[in-house]
Amino acid sequence: MLLVAICVTAGAGCTDVRGYHGSWQGAVVDSPSAQVREGFGPTVTATLSLERVDTRDIAGRVSTSDGLLVDAPLVPIRPAANDVLGDITFAGDPLRTYFTSAATTDGGGAALVLVSLLPGDRAEVRILRPASLYGVFRLRRD
């Protein structure tokens, strides 16, 4: 009831994303014309486990099949949710995008992990680090 009241007060931009918790998996986008893959092999997959999801924050873990991320906790970058970045939109019209980071196993430091929840029970994860990593993973529920 409180969520409905908040959504009515906030206007049309409020979307209930709580149902997106659970396990997700998918492959890296491997399109030579798009050039959105660096540091990930063409067959790498990602697994995302979302333990808690709300309109401002998520809690979960991410892994990649190449072992770069292994059950790595998503560390929210909370100020981004209060900035215009929290409402970022792009192709696919995400319901919400969360800015997080996750520890990597290669000694290169943490990676920025953007988690986007999309209509139609879909999700995308972007894993990036300057000059070494960029991967877009399109995910579906396990």
Residue 83 lies in a domain: yes
Residue 60 lies in a domain: yes
Residue 13 lies in a domain: no
Residue 14 lies in a domain: no
pLDDT tens figures, 1-44: 333 333 333 333 557 777 788 999 999 998 776 688 999 999 99
Residue 74 lies in a domain: yes
Residue 133 lies in a domain: yes
Tokens 């972007």, residue? 126
Residue 101 lies in a domain: yes
Of 22-26, 47-51, 119-123, the poorest mean pLDDT is in 119-123
CA distances from 8 to 11, 51, 64, 96 (A): 5, 26, 39, 18
pLDDT tens figures, 86-116: 677 676 678 888 999 999 999 999 999 999 9
Number of domains observed in the structure of the chain: 1
Residue 111 lies in a domain: yes
CATH code for position 24: 2.40.128
Sign of CA pseudo-dihedral 56, 140, 13, 86:
positive
* pLDDT at residue number 134: 95
The average pLDDT across 54-63 equals: 91
Tokens of 78: 């909370």
Residue 74 domain boundaries: 19-141
Question: Where do runs of H (alpha helix) occur along the chain?
Answer: 2-10, 78-82
What does the alpha-carbon distance between residue 3 and residue 22 come to, in Å, rounded to a whole number? 21
